[in-house]
């Protein structure tokens, strides 16, 4: 499986993501600059964390207009897995690939620490390697991770089982403790915690690696050539 790590001006977790895929997962991966105009050669798309375009206007508000985002949208519409982490999640929200919006943390301060998440839905291409209800430890590092949506959107998220991860202790004020959601089709996931920073026990936790393993497993099962 071949992954693209999208790099925007201000991305700072792209190297972490590349390491997670190449060295820990053992899959093919390439950096893709924000003004590239094709993602056709890639099987999975990864939007890393950071401060794209300095977070001017709003987090992700400018990055969503980058040339490559039309290709990200095209990949999502084609059913390819698209994962946005932290700033990548914010960009997916701004681009309309996921519903809702991000507000500043309830504390109005930057939060950077390991947190516990609950796996709310293990029947997805991003969480298949987890058990339903499992608690995992993954770090957060954000100032605008307070997820919000209106009542109708929240009802739809719940009805369609689109809430994939929640915080066991709400660190930022997110509505319903939401830490990660997917689209209705199930191939686009956005999450504020950083699984790429939890892929080896030397980092304090390897719980994040299963997200990437889930993507590969699901993709291979869908693309296996039967004799």
Map out the domains of the chain with their CATH numbers.
2-223 (3.40.50.880)
**Residue numbers in the chain where pLDDT is lower than 50:** 226-227
Q: Which helix (H) or strand (E) holds 3?
A: strand 2-7
Closest by CA position to 7, among listed 56, 40, 62, 49: 49
Indicate the pTM of the whole model.
0.96
pLDDT reported for residue 73: 98
The pLDDT of residue 227: 41
Is the distance from CB of 148 to CB of 178 less than 8 angstroms? Answer: no
What pLDDT is attached to residue 23?
A: 97
Catalytic residues: 86, 194, 196
For residue 94, the tally of other CB atoms under 10 A from its CB is 22
Task: Quote the CA–CA distance of 162 and 182 in Å, as a whole number.
Answer: 5
Q: What is the pLDDT of residue 221?
A: 92
pLDDT at 225: 55
Residue pair 46/14 in contact (Cβ under 8 Å)? The answer is no
What is the C-alpha separation between 62 and 90, in angstroms, rounded? 11
Bridge partners, 117 (sequence order): 136, 167
């Amino acid at each position: 499986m071949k992954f693209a790590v999208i790099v925007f001006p201000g991305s700072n977790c792209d190297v972490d993501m590349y390491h997670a895929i190449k060295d820990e997962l053992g899959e093919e991966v390439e950096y893709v600059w924000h003004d590239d105009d094709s993602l056709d050669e890639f099987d999975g798309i990864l939007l890393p964390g950071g401060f794209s375009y300095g977070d001017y206007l709003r987090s992700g508000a400018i990055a969503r207009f980058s040339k490559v985002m039309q290709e990200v949208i095209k990949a999502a519409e084609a059913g390819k897995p698209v994962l946005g982490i932290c700033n990548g999640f914010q960009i997916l929200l701004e681009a309309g690939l996921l519903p809702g919006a991000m507000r500043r943390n309830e504390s109005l301060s930057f939060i950077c620490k390991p947190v516990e998440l609950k796996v709310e839905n293990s029947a997805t291409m991003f969480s298949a390697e987890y058990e339903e209800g499992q608690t995992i430890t993954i770090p957060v590092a954000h100032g605008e991770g307070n997820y919000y949506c209106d009542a109708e959107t929240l009802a739809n998220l719940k009805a369609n089982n689109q809430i994939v991860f929640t915080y066991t202790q709400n660190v930022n004020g997110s509505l319903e403790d939401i830490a990660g959601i997917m689209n209705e089709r199930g191939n686009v996931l956005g999450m504020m915690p950083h699984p790429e920073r939890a892929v080896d026990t030397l980092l304090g936790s390897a719980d994040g690696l299963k997200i990437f393993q889930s993507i590969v497993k699901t993709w291979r099962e869908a693309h296996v050539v039967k004799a």
